[in-house]
Chain A
Amino acid sequence: MARAEIPDGLPLSAIAARVQPFVAARERLLPVALPLGNHLPNGGVQRGTTVVVDGRRGVGVTTTTLMLAAAATTTGEWAAIVDPDGTVGARAAADAGVELERCAVVRRVPRDRWSAVVAALLDGAALVAATVPDRLRPGDARRLIAKARERSSVLVAVGPWPVEAALRLHVEPSAWERASSGLLTRRDIVVHVEGRGVRAPMRLAHAV
């Protein structure tokens, strides 16, 4: 790059941003751990996109969300979880691979400030997993999609998302495997993946 193109007195950070090399699409990816990563396009979620996770309560929606959140913390980035009920289980999060130190959980979010909180978090965290309130306005949802694209953060919307998204993970009911004593041992969460880069809607299983 020619020297003359950088004006004098520009802060170093601005110069770094200017001469920053071209970023390949692969580098803009948060790789998701196996087995879920196997079934996502390029093995992860693209920065700046929105991912929707939905399904009935109790079938594995939270676990799937936590696996996506782990993709951010294992690459050294920060993740935030918006959890208005305050019920996320931290031990399950740690088991899913989330580094708790770099994962902020925002609890007790009033409905009318939900969009503002998620937008503020998209500014700071590489991935924001937010439980969507009922009857979210499509306009608010689109603004958040744009915000995520602008900040190169991933928005994981958990629940009824009113507009389009790059990737949709629909979690379907599945069965538990049990020891002879009745103790739970494992289950295969069944996820139906749909979206850009996915050739046909896939129905697949992965273990917990």
Chain B
Amino acid sequence: MTRTTRTACVWCPDWPVTAARRRDPELAGVPVVVRERIGSRDVVRCASSEARADGVTRGMRRREAEARSPGVVCIDADPAYEARAFEVVARAIETVTPRVVLDRPGRCDFPTRGPARYFGGDEALAAHVHSVVAATGFGEGVRVGIADGMFAARLAARHARASEVGVHVVAPGESAVFLTPWPVSTLNNEALVSLLVRLGLRTLGSVAALPNDAVLARFGTDGRVFHELARGLDPGPPVLVTPPPDLVEQCELDPPATRVDVAAFAAKGLADRLLERLAERGLACTQVIVEAETEYGERLARTWRHDKALTPAALSERVRWQLDGWLAAQAPVVAAGDRRAQQDADVMADVDTAAGALTLVRLVPDEVVPADGRQLGFWGGDQAARDRADRALARVQGMLGYDAVATAVVQGGRTPVEQVRWVPWGEPREPERPLTIDGEVPAWPGALPPPYPARVFAPPLPAELLDGDGRPVRVSGRGESGPRPAWLWCRALPAGGGTVRSAAGPWPHDVRWWDPATRSRRVLWQLVVMTEDAGEIACIAAVENGSATVEAVYD
């Protein structure tokens, strides 16, 4: 099942505006709009609170924004500078926890388990993080939210506005209740949100109240992810794969790079190569660690997350931002009259590091998912077949119930039933007891060797196992079986059973002997039964507490 990690989210609202004001102090107190170009349109990317008070909203055309708010100052978006400035905040948070994950400039999150214990609880941690970030001078309106899972934590950070302290902590297990009143538009999928609204499902609570099967049948796998988010579960990336250890890309910079364009050029090649090699294995990357070493031997590392699989352009952009942040942090030599560089230097002077030039850049894939839909067949091919299968199976799940459609995962165990885990279709295929642990194959004493039975009964079917004198075969207190079986009767066998031709075993199992409540002692037999009209039938029989069962048939 899905596990949710308790997560803290640090959010600096209107980060582009904050960064711009930091660079140009004259902008403080005046309405500011950061604009960007989307295609041929010139739209508002972010507006300051003064501009918003005049009715300027995100996504509005620039001309309309200027009409609504006379005297507004329009500046161009500069994502690289925003990312560079956010490095100051990230470093401040890094004094609290090493596991900071950047989501975009202005927002980052980290798991709270360790730091919350150290600082004495979630509230204390949140307050501490808030004060640390506020101390950087960038803390204008910073908000900290802590909840179960990333989605709830982000909303908690948004909710923090209501309280004066800029901190909101949702108690463990309360996330589902906390999410109930939020509108569905907080889920980041426009098509689905508009459909939900038209169906009258306006809040997360109303989505969460729907039965699982119905959501799956009506909205497909996208809907299921929504449903889990709305119920306060964190679906995370669909299936995480352990990143292959050799998929680390690095390059040495000789001479050491002091300018970001030199380092970024090298990093661009790294990013392309990393994604290419992942794609060769049918994998894509959603979270990456950017590492660098400086000429003084300092090692820097920062994690970046992306909601979807990283494209080469998105990855190299993030790497560039990060390298830029590190290089700018070492107080560059300022050319006279270069006002912007001077202010950059002022910003970065807050950061206590003497990094120096970069000598090595390394990219480590941190979260890797199977890439689906990248390798299209010429006539539609793979992706079309997968979509078709997904739709049909979701429909059957809607008809029969979510658990009715399953896939099997082979796992460790002794009996044929234990060796397989049935996972509902669409859930991560993870074994409970992996077949290999760190490359070693754990031994399961008493497991039967191959061939494996094609029919496995769970629960096992009651049977009668008799010895030559017609008495039931039993297990002694020491796990030893008495006389060999001679007759087996069970409804799983044709003609109800017959004489035992040959018997292999017994395999004694002393299960959980250390636990009086659940311990059991049984023996397994592999039998070949001669039936009247179907010849030899092979099966696995078990004897436990004096009663026999048939566990599996080699059909």
Given A58-B537, A58-B555, A63-B454: A89 and B392 interface contact (C-beta under 8 Å): no
Residues of chain B at interface, number, CB under 8 A: 60
Given A117-B396, A175-B535: A57 and B493 interface contact (C-beta under 8 Å): yes
Cβ-closest chain A residue relative to B417 = A89
**Residues of chain A contacted by B391 (CB below 8 angstroms):** 123-124
Other 11 A-B pairs with CB < 8 A, given A16-B380, A124-B395 = A62-B454, A78-B385, A78-B386, A87-B458, A89-B454, A91-B420, A102-B389, A107-B404, A108-B404, A123-B388, A124-B392
**Residues of chain B contacted by A76 (CB below 8 angstroms):** 382, 385
Q: With an 8 A cutoff between CB atoms, is A186 at the interface?
A: yes
Determine how close the nearest CB of chain A comes to the CB of B457; give it in whole angstroms: 6
Cβ-closest chain B residue relative to A124 = B392
Determine how close the nearest CB of chain B comes to the CB of A69; give it in whole angstroms: 11
Q: Which stretch (A34-42, A132-140, A159-167, A176-184) binds chain B?
A: A176-184
B-side interface mostly = mixed
The 9 A-B pairs of least Cβ separation, nearest first, read: A124-B392, A173-B535, A90-B408, A182-B504, A91-B452, A62-B454, A58-B537, A78-B389, A56-B534
Residue from A59, A89, A125 in contact with B420 in the complex, judged by beta carbons closer than 8 Å = A89
Contact yes or no, A121 B449, CB < 8 A: no
Q: With an 8 A cutoff between CB atoms, is B492 at the interface?
A: yes
**Residues of chain B contacted by A184 (CB below 8 angstroms):** 451, 504, 526, 528, 538, 554
Given A105-B422, A117-B399: A57 and B492 interface contact (C-beta under 8 Å): yes
Cβ-closest chain A residue relative to B391 = A124
* Cα-based distance from A116 to B396 in the complex (angstroms): 9
Q: With an 8 A cutoff between CB atoms, is B453 at the interface?
A: yes
Binding site for B on A (CB under 8 A): 13, 16, 20, 56-63, 66, 76-78, 80, 86-96, 100-110, 113, 116-117, 120-121, 123-126, 173-176, 178, 181-187, 208
Contact yes or no, A104 B395, CB < 8 A: no
Cβ-closest chain B residue relative to A109 = B400
Residue from A66, A91, A113, A123 in contact with B392 in the complex, judged by beta carbons closer than 8 Å = A123
Determine how close the nearest CB of chain B comes to the CB of A153; give it in whole angstroms: 10
Contact yes or no, B407 A104, CB < 8 A: yes
* Cα-based distance from A127 to B537 in the complex (angstroms): 28
Determine how close the nearest CB of chain B comes to the CB of A53; give it in whole angstroms: 11
Chain B 489-532 against A: per-residue CB contact (8 Å), 1 yes, 0 no? 00011100000001111000000000000000000001010010
Determine how close the nearest CB of chain B comes to the CB of A34; give it in whole angstroms: 17
Contact yes or no, A124 B526, CB < 8 A: no
* Cα-based distance from A187 to B391 in the complex (angstroms): 39
Residue from A56, A88, A109, A120 in contact with B533 in the complex, judged by beta carbons closer than 8 Å = A56
Contact yes or no, B449 A100, CB < 8 A: no
Contact yes or no, B385 A87, CB < 8 A: no
Contact yes or no, A91 B419, CB < 8 A: yes
**Residues of chain B contacted by A173 (CB below 8 angstroms):** 534-536
Q: With an 8 A cutoff between CB atoms, is B142 at the interface?
A: no
Q: With an 8 A cutoff between CB atoms, is B379 at the interface?
A: yes
* Cα-based distance from A92 to B494 in the complex (angstroms): 21
Cβ-closest chain B residue relative to A208 = B451
Determine how close the nearest CB of chain B comes to the CB of A107; give it in whole angstroms: 6
Q: With an 8 A cutoff between CB atoms, is B390 at the interface?
A: yes
Q: With an 8 A cutoff between CB atoms, is B68 at the interface?
A: no
Residue from B395, B419, B537 in contact with A120 in the complex, judged by beta carbons closer than 8 Å = B395
Given A104-B425, A108-B404, A183-B526: A80 and B420 interface contact (C-beta under 8 Å): no
Residue from A57, A62, A89, A121 in contact with B416 in the complex, judged by beta carbons closer than 8 Å = A89
Q: With an 8 A cutoff between CB atoms, is B539 at the interface?
A: yes
* Cα-based distance from A57 to B454 in the complex (angstroms): 11
